[in-house]
């Protein structure tokens, strides 16, 4: 998933120190940084007490609660805050005035002040904050307000009332006194904190140190297997990028028994939830999302669109670039898995076919562009928005655009460049220079620089526009074509979707279907499917049903009240897309395919493939 400003801000502070010493004087001279105390006072009641120590300064200050974090959705964390109070150093109460639902003004704070509040946190998952008798997992933007005038100043955090036997894991720097420090608020809230009786392992790879934190039932996982897979993933990703912009990186995992799934990227860590059952079936449930979140440490955390900077915690941060920052991260996820040996060619091509099928089956691919889907990320909290005729996913279309851009760059550069060179160019010219890229135009700049070609049509037609992607034109160079296969598929009579780790919600019920006759309604929440709690696996469970199978669901309507519904699964004609070899795959196409699947430019391979005209048999 998503993001936050970190390196960029650190880089900017470094510039401050050297070039703009004058205007940054207040930061450099600040004697007492802002300090937070986070007290886990009541795990049973999910209550955290927060104290913010403000240093001397202006008499009148404002503190702001972010309205969003992690997900590109307004979630108004202030809804969980109980009474906000303030006092001076001597304990005398100060006047606190609410300015809007997420901002308060403190008066008489010239000699420093302590702002206090209590907050309720009980949302599970990597995008949230939770305190219960088992653990605390905290995305700090969801529990900590920031002083509006010192958001970019260094700060300290201390945890107290930690239950016995629990430890703290976070990517934040720690001081000998047990405090954690951050260069600024953005950096602070980019480091989630796990506090529990977790298991820990670690490993080194090519000079980098990696910590693995797992808070889960030990019967549900094998640490050695996880570490072995992570080792392959980080080796594949850092070698693909020829870069490792950190000394230590931390993986935080939870394997809940109930509905779970998803990961959240950070600059120096990631937090990932995988359903325990899915983990037992295959480590694939963990490796894909891990490759994705790990690659985000470049794409979106450091290779970052200008439209996400500076982060605006008070309202939506609109960007057209999520097709790249999220979708092309999924493209890289595939490449990293291939290079790590966690996916083979057949599996990879099958997966690409599924992605094409998903996009082509959504009528909205002709009405909503990848850029518009990015802007509309902020609508993803609404059920109707997920309907196939309303929206496409910037993950889905973006991943495919990443594959097409890779092929287009290879074609335009005669094999001398690929998506790898595009990514490395953006890393060199934006991330490492502390610059941000200009959304799609910035991606185009990079792709044109490495291919030495004009790629404007690609961006106009498929990124900003909604033209049908001519798959075969792109895949021909690697000896593949996309085959449309009509088949009879099961049809449960409805579509449903989940908003990240939210409940499964019915988007559309097919008029006249058995589902409609059984009483299923749009916006119903699916609580159980075939007797099991609905979650991440429900989609696959639905896909496995055959026409004529009995389906039983427990649903909850918006007005409350559970209903048990049963009906017989129907069928419909549907087109699936599969990638298959061209009838004649030339040696040249074969060589290009090999380079493409390695995620490397052909460069060195050119010349070793002979005349290029040799035909090989289909299926090679
Ligand atoms: Zn992502």
* DSSP secondary structure of 187-216: HHHTS-EEEES-EEEEEEETTEEEEEEEES
Closest C-alpha to 143, from 156, 155, 130? 130
| d(C-alpha 2, C-alpha 272), whole Å | 12
13: region left, alpha or beta (phi > 0 left; psi from -120 to 50 alpha): alpha
From CA 116, how far away is CA 304, in angstroms rounded?
A: 34
In angstroms, what is the span from residue 289 Cα to ligand 1's centroid? 8
Q: For residues 305 and 439, is the Cβ–Cβ distance under 8 A? A: yes
Task: Report the C-alpha gap between 429 and 218 in whole angstroms.
Answer: 44
Question: What is the torsional sign of CA 226, 232, 235, 239?
Answer: negative
- Which whole-number Å values give the CA distances from 100 to 53, 59, 61, 62, 67, in the listed order? 22, 20, 14, 11, 11
* Rounded-to-integer distance, Cα 120 and Cα 49, Å: 9
Residue 232 host element (H or E) = helix 223-241
Q: How far apart are CA 225 and CA 236, in angstroms?
A: 17
Q: Which residues contact 72 (CB under 8 A, 6 or more apart)?
A: 2, 316, 317, 322, 377, 378, 380
Question: Rounded to the nearest 5 degrees, what angle is found at the Cα of 540, between the Cα atoms of 519 and 351?
Answer: 135
Q: How far is the CA of 326 from the centre of ligand 1 (A)?
A: 5
Q: Alpha-carbon distance 42 to 48, whole Å?
A: 7
Angstrom distance (rounded) from CA 230 to CA 251: 9
Separation in Å, CA 61 to CA 56, 87, 94: 11, 13, 11
**Cα–Cα–Cα angle for 194, 195, 197, nearest 5°?**
115
Q: What is the DSSP letter of 305?
A: B
SS3 of 463-529: HCCCCCCCHHHHHHHHCEEEEEEEEEEEECCEEEEECCCCCEEEEEECCCCHHHHHCCCCCCEEEEE
pLDDT-based confidence at residue 17 (cuts at 50, 70, 90): very low
* Residue 23 pLDDT class (50, 70, 90 cuts): very low
The helix/strand/coil state of 6 is coil
Instruction: Calculate how far, in angstroms, residue 200's C-alpha sits from the geometric centre of ligand 1.
Output: 24
CA of 576 relative to ligand 1 center, distance in Å: 26
Q: Does the pTM exceed 0.75? A: yes
What would the pLDDT profile of 375-428 be if each residue is shown by its tens digit?
999 999 888 899 999 999 999 999 999 999 999 999 999 999 999 999 999 999
Rounded distance from Cα 522 to ligand 1 centre (Å): 28
Ligand 1 midpoint to CA 38 (Å) = 29
Q: How far, in Å, is the centroid of ligand 1 from the Cα of 460?
A: 24
Residue 438 burial (C-beta neighbours within 10 Å; 0-12, 13-18, 19+): middle
Distance 489 CA to ligand 1 centre (A): 30
Assigned token pair, 585: 């795959």
Q: 540 CA distance to ligand 1 centroid (A)?
A: 21
Query: Percent of the chain having pLDDT more than 70?
Result: 92
Distance CA 565, CA 492 (A): 12
Q: How far is the CA of 396 from the centre of ligand 1 (A)?
A: 11
Which pLDDT tens digit goes with each residue over 476-529? 999 999 999 998 888 999 988 887 667 888 988 998 999 999 999 988 999 899
Q: How far is the CA of 70 from the centre of ligand 1 (A)?
A: 10
**Distance from the alpha carbon of residue 142 to the mean position of ligand 1, in angstroms:** 19
What was the pLDDT predicted at 8? 33
Q: Interior CA angle at 145 toward 142 and 147, to 5°? A: 155
DSSP state of 81: B
Dist CA 5 CA 175 (whole Å): 23
End-to-end CA separation in angstroms for the chain: 37
Q: How far apart are CA 144 and CA 122, in angstroms?
A: 15
Q: Cα–Cα distance between 280 and 275 in angstroms, integer?
A: 9
Query: What is the CA(551)–ligand 1 centre distance, in A?
Result: 33
Sign of the torsion angle spanned by Cα atoms 81, 85, 88, 90:
negative
Confidence band, pLDDT 50/70/90 cuts, at residue 1: low
The alpha carbon of 98 and the centre of ligand 1 are apart by a number of angstroms equal to 35
Number of neighbouring beta carbons within 10 Å of residue 523: 13
Question: What digits encode the pLDDT tens for the residues 84-142?
Answer: 999 999 999 999 999 999 999 999 999 999 999 999 999 999 999 999 999 999 999 99
- Output the CA 60–ligand 1 centroid distance in Å: 39
Residue 310 scores a pLDDT above 50: yes
pLDDT above 90 coverage of the chain, percent: 79
**φ/ψ (deg, to 5) at 369:** -80, 170
Directed axis angle between helix 223-241 and helix 329-339, to 10°?
110
500 vs 616: which has the higher pLDDT? 500
CA of residue 127 to ligand 1 center, whole Å: 12
Cα 282 to ligand 1 centre (Å)? 21
Do residues 231 and 205 make contact, with C-beta atoms less than 8 angstroms apart? Answer: yes
Residue 117 CA to ligand 1 center (angstroms) comes to 32
Ligand 1 centroid to 400 CA: how many Å?
15
Q: For residue 1, report the distance from its CA to the centre of ligand 1, in Å.
A: 3
Name 170's Cβ contacts closer than 8 Å, sequence gap at least 6.
180, 191, 192, 193, 194, 250, 269
User: How does DSSP classify residue 299?
Assistant: B
Q: Is the pLDDT of residue 11 over 80?
A: no
Residues with CB under 5 A from ligand 1 (ion): 1, 326
As a whole number, the mean pLDDT across the chain is 90
The CA-based diameter of the chain, rounded to the nearest angstrom, is 87
**CA 302 to ligand 1 center in whole angstroms:** 13
Query: Could you tell me the pLDDT band of residue 606, with boundaries at 50, 70 and 90?
Result: very low
Query: Residue 83 Cα, ligand 1 centroid: separation in angstroms?
Result: 35
pLDDT, tens only, 281-291:
899 999 999 99
The tokens for 255 are 């394997």
Q: State the distance from the centre of ligand 1 to the C-alpha of 484, rounded, in angstroms.
A: 29
339 SS3 class: helix
Q: How far is the CA of 263 from the centre of ligand 1 (A)?
A: 7
**Ligand 1 centroid – CA 470 distance (Å):** 26
Tokens of 63: 């503190």
Peptide bond before residue 145 is cis, with ω within 30 degrees of 0: no
Q: Length of the chain, please?
A: 620
Contact (CB, 8 A) for 196 and 159: no
Q: Could you give phi then psi for residue 490, rounded to 5 degrees?
A: -70, 150
Backbone angles phi and psi of 531, in degrees to 5: 85, 0
């Amino acid at each position: 998933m998503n993001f936050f400003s970190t390196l960029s801000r650190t880089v900017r502070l470094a510039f401050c120190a050297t070039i703009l010493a004058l205007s940054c004087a207040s930061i450099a001279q600040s004697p007492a940084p802002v300090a937070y105390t986070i007290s886990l006072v009541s795990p049973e009641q999910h209550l955290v007490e927060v104290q913010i120590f403000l240093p001397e300064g202006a008499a009148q200050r404002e503190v702001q609660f972010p309205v969003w974090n992690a997900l590109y959705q307004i979630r108004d964390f202030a809804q969980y805050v109980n009474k906000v109070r303030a006092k001076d150093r001597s304990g005398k109460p100060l006047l606190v005035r609410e300015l809007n639902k997420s901002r308060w003004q403190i008066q008489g704070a010239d000699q420093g002040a302590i702002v206090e509040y209590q907050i309720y946190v009980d949302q599970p998952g990597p995008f949230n904050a939770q305190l219960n008798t088992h653990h605390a997992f905290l995305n700090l933007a969801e529990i900590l307000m920031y002083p509006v005038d010192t958001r970019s100043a260094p700060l300290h955090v201390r945890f107290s009332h930690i239950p016995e036997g629990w430890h703290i894991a976070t990517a934040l720097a720690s001081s000998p006194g047990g405090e954690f420090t951050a260069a600024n608020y953005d950096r602070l809230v980019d480091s989630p904190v796990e506090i529990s009786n977790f298991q820990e392992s670690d490993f080194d790879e090519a000079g980098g140190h990696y910590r693995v934190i797992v808070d889960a039932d030990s019967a549900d996982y094998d640490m050695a297997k996880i570490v072995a897979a992570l080792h392959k993933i980080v080796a594949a990703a850092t070698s693909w990028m020829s870069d490792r912009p950190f000394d230590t990186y931390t993986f935080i995992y939870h394997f809940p028994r109930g509905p779970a799934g998803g990961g959240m990227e950070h600059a120096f860590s990631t937090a990932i939830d995988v359903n325990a059952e899915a983990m037992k079936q295959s480590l694939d449930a963990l490796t894909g999302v891990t490759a994705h979140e790990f690659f985000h440490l470049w794409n979106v955390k450091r290779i970052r669109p200008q439209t996400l900077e500076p982060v605006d915690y008070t309202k939506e941060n609109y960007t057209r670039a999520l097709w790249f920052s999220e979708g092309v991260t999924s493209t890289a996820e595939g490449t990293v898995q291939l290079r790590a040996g966690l996916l083979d060619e057949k599996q990879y091509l099958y997966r690409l076919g599924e992605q094409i099928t998903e996009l082509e089956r959504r009528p909205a691919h002709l009405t909503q562009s990848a850029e518009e889907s990015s802007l509309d990320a902020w609508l993803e909290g609404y059920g109707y928005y997920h309907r196939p005729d309303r929206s496409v996913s910037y993950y889905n279309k973006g991943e495919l655009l990443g594959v097409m851009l890779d092929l287009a760059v290879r074609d335009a550069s005669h094999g001398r460049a690929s998506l790898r060179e595009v990514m490395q160019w953006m890393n060199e010219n934006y991330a490492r220079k502390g610059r941000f890229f200009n959304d799609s135009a910035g991606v185009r700049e990079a792709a044109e620089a490495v291919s030495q070609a004009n790629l404007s049509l690609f961006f106009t037609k498929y990124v900003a526009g909604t033209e049908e992607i001519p798959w075969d034109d792109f895949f021909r160079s690697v000896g593949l074509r996309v085959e449309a296969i009509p088949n009879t598929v099961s049809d449960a009579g409805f579509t449903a979707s989940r908003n990240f780790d939210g409940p499964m919600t019915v988007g559309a019920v097919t008029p006249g279907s058995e589902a409609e006759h059984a009483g299923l309604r749009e916006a119903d929440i699916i609580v159980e499917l075939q007797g099991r709690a609905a979650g991440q696996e429900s989609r696959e469970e639905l896909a496995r049903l055959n026409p004529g199978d009995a389906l039983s669901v427990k649903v909850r309507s918006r007005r409350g009240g559970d209903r048990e519904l049963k009906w017989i699964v129907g069928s419909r004609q549907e087109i699936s897309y599969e990638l298959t070899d061209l009838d004649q795959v030339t040696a040249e196409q074969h060589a290009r395919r090999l380079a493409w699947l390695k995620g490397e430019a052909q460069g060195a391979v050119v010349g070793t493939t002979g005349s290029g005209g040799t035909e090989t048999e289909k299926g090679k």
